Amino acid sequence: MMNPLLEISEVSVGKHFYWQLGEYQVHGQVLITSWVVLGIIALLSFLGNRDLKPTPDGFQNFTELVTEFIRDLAKTQIGEEEYLSWVPFLGTIFLFIFVSNWSGALLPWHLIEIPNSELAAPTNDINTTVALALLTSISYFYAGIHKKGLRYFNRYVQPAVFLLPINVLEDFSKPLSLSFRLFGNILADELVVGVLVGLVPLIIPIPVMLLGVFTSAIQALVFATLAGAYIGEAIEDHH
């Protein structure tokens, strides 16, 4: 029998290009597009930070704007005392999802042929979104335990002991909600655009594609905001 985790990892749509790594198969097309996304982020970071000036100009303005946006998001969700240490994590999560989503909305992945498969945004695959959600879960557990020690687990019996099952279930539902929301929205957007392009290839798909660009940005913001909110909740002092 196939391992249950492997069965979950097969929840996907479309053809996949598999790489064999030891006993495991991985979706090669996801790794390819993820490397492209990471390369884009690295290139933009290099262009914006290679010649830093006290008075920013050019591309440095853009990178500082993004940095300030992420700092404000972290401060709002986590609080002024703790937010700085979480800016790199939330920034990485936000930028990876944002660029991944926009790559699916703007880049013609499906026109690039690879053996027995097709390319798409990394967040089009459930394995990617589940990995991001699990990283978020590990992060807020770490944040709570690092600040409170074993007292962190008192939250499961507050405000009453009989709420223990509900509080535990809540922690299981968070990564499920994060992963399937992102996966479902990005996949649905690409499927709708693909169908419309096939049926009416000229004018009608354009507004839908523009809506997909907007939706992709919103999904990145929602994921990063919820990640910050969960971390802030974990380190919050309950009285």
Per-residue pLDDT, averaged over 63-85, amounts to 90
Average pLDDT, the chain: 82
Distance between CA 164 and CA 82 in Å, rounded? Answer: 27
- Give pLDDT, residue 157: 79
Which structural domain, as residue segments, surrounds residue 38?
4-235
- Give pLDDT, residue 153: 83
- Worst-scoring range by mean pLDDT, 30-44, 109-123, 216-230? 109-123
Per-residue pLDDT, averaged over 126-139, amounts to 92
- Give pLDDT, residue 201: 62
- Give pLDDT, residue 198: 66
Which band of pLDDT confidence, cut at 50, 70 and 90, is reported for residue 24? confident
Most confident of 46-60, 77-91, 146-160, 178-192: 77-91
Whether 2 contacts 68, CB under 8 Å: no
pLDDT in tens, 25-51: 777 788 888 999 999 999 988 888 888
Distance between CA 224 and CA 7 in Å, rounded? Answer: 28
What is the domain count for the chain? 1
Per-residue pLDDT, averaged over 78-83, amounts to 87
- Give pLDDT, residue 185: 84
- Give pLDDT, residue 15: 64
**Per the structure block, which two tokens stand in for 86?**
């979480």
Please check the confidence at residue 237 and state whether its pLDDT lies above 80: no
Distance between CA 209 and CA 232 in Å, rounded? Answer: 35
- Give pLDDT, residue 134: 93
Q: Is 19 helix (H, G, I), strand (E, B) or coil?
A: strand
Distance between CA 2 and CA 4 in Å, rounded? Answer: 6
- Give pLDDT, residue 8: 46
pLDDT higher for 87 or 20? 87
pLDDT in tens, 163-175: 788 888 888 888 8
- Give pLDDT, residue 35: 93
Per-residue pLDDT, averaged over 11-36, amounts to 76
Please check the confidence at residue 3 and state whether its pLDDT lies above 60: no
- Give pLDDT, residue 197: 65
Q: Other CB atoms closer than 10 Å to residue 192's CB: what's the count?
A: 15
- Give pLDDT, residue 96: 95
